[in-house]
Amino acid sequence: MHLCLLNRKFLVSLVAVVFVLVGEALAASPEINRFEANPVNTFAPGTELVFYLEGTPQATATVMISGLKQPITLRETGLGWYEGSYTLRTNDRIPGNPAIRATLRQGSRAANAALAYPLVTEARVPARGPATEARAPARGPAIERFTMDPERIEPGMELVFTLEGTPNANATFSIKNVARGMAMTETRPGVYEGRYTVRRQDNFAANDVTAALEANGQVERARVTAAASGQPRYGQERHGQAGFPLEVTSPHNMAEVRGGSIEVRGRSAPNLPLTVQVEATTSVGGLIGLNQNIMSRTVTTDDRGNFTFSFEPRLTVPGTHYEVNISGTMGGQEKKQKLTLVQR
């Protein structure tokens, strides 16, 4: 009788220990909460692929793309937030719709997640049918301005972020190591507003705040660089140097362009003359480096610092590279911006 009772107690204790061990093992398994990527127009050499993953902190995150031999390593930039990028090379062979899978590993356990949407999202014109030949590809979003008010960052202070750009889009803002993907409300066509109250433990500067505007399957990003009055307030760009901003907002670097007029948009200090030079480099009949001057002119920004100019190549040869060089001088300081486009 006593022996049977002891056996029962031992069995109950053993089952309890097993449940505890299983529970601890399950709790230790890493989890992926979100896996995203910046859409691209093409898998051409020079295209930068950028990936974001949110999940269990202090783990090892990688992304594998069919066609690439080595995985892409993501770095943990915030608690449980991983980022990484890879620039395509000439010998990379990626299929049109590759399988893209993220892995989050912690010890001997791992979690996997597949990218839920195609990485290449450029709208293409069908090759046949007269009714479709005039249909233009969907234009990506454009950010004209992204500001923060007030300029002080103190605990308890409510910061108001204002983005101006393409209307009827989806706008969010993020603060490095503080907040990610905070929604912004479109208060009027093309004007979006978001708010954040600074907490005592927060530690960030104005140039740690970025905005994302998504439309037609494409995403445009910008960093806080100017105040609501249109004058430079923080004077910091991506490389952290003081001075006035000079940025190309569209198209993105290494974008493919079709025949006809090519439009370039950007922003800088208000009413600032900018020098623009465009050169084409073409490989014809085995000759590499056949240069052609396309345009050389001065463009002045408007009262809000925005600028736009267009150029039209005389000869459109697939594979031609257009080097767009933009420069400006303000207060004795010169800024330069370079943009490379590829003829399709």
Class of the CATH-defined domain 138-243: mainly beta
Identify the residue with better confidence: 126 or 166: 166
Q: How many percent of the chain have pLDDT more than 90?
A: 26
Give the pLDDT confidence of 137-174 residue by residue, as tens digits: 556 788 989 999 887 888 888 899 999 999 999 999 99
CA distance 177 to 334: 32
Please give the order of strands across the beta sheet that includes 191-197.
143-149, 158-165, 191-197, 185-188
222 pLDDT higher than 50 = yes
239 pLDDT higher than 60 = no
Give the pLDDT confidence of 243-264 residue by residue, as tens digits: 578 888 899 888 888 878 899 9
Q: Give the model's pLDDT for residue 289.
A: 57
> Which of 5-19, 44-58, 305-319, 327-341 is predicted with the least confidence, judged by mean pLDDT?
5-19
The CA–CA distances, whole Å, from 113 to 34, 63, 79, 168, 336 equal 8, 9, 19, 30, 40
Listed in sequence order, the residues at least 6 apart from 19 whose beta carbon sits closer than 8 Å to its beta carbon are none
Identify the residue with better confidence: 344 or 71: 71
Phi, psi (degrees; rounded to nearest 5) at 71: -70, 160
Q: Give the model's pLDDT for residue 138.
A: 55
**Most confident option among 117-121, 277-281, 301-305:** 277-281
pLDDT band of residue 71 (cuts 50, 70, 90) is very high
Burial class (CB in 10 A: 0-12, 13-18, 19+), 52: buried
CA distance 182 to 21: 38
CA atoms within 13 A on the CB side of 77: 18
28 pLDDT higher than 70 = no
208-236: string of b/e by CB count within 10 Å (b at 16+)? bbbbbbbbbebbbbbbbbbbeebebbbeb
Q: Give the model's pLDDT for residue 276.
A: 95
Mean pLDDT of 229-253: 56
111 pLDDT higher than 50 = yes
Q: Give the model's pLDDT for residue 23.
A: 53
Q: Where are the domains of the chain?
A: 32-114, 138-243, 244-344
Q: How many percent of the chain have pLDDT more than 70?
A: 78
134 pLDDT higher than 80 = no
**Rg of the chain on CA atoms, in Å:** 26
Give the pLDDT confidence of 266-280 residue by residue, as tens digits: 988 888 899 999 998
Q: Give the model's pLDDT for residue 284.
A: 58
- CATH: 3.30.70.20, 2.60.40.10, 3.30.210.10, 2.30.29.30. Which one for 244-344? 2.60.40.10
* 116 CB neighbour count, 10 Å cutoff: 10
18-42: string of b/e by CB count within 10 Å (b at 16+)? eeeeeeeeeeeebebeebbbbbbbe
The CA–CA distances, whole Å, from 17 to 8, 23, 25, 109, 171 equal 14, 10, 12, 21, 50
What mean pLDDT is reported for the chain?
79
**Superfamily the domain 32-114 falls into:** Immunoglobulins (2.60.40.10)
Give the pLDDT confidence of 303-331 residue by residue, as tens digits: 778 899 999 887 778 888 889 999 988 76
Question: What does the block give as tokens for 144?
Answer: 């004209």
Mean pLDDT of 290-304: 87
Amino acid present at 22: V
Q: Do the domains 138-243 and 244-344 sit in the same CATH topology, yes or no?
A: yes
74 pLDDT higher than 90 = yes
127 pLDDT higher than 50 = no
Mean pLDDT of 48-72: 90
Closest C-alpha to 83, from 53, 58, 59, 62: 53
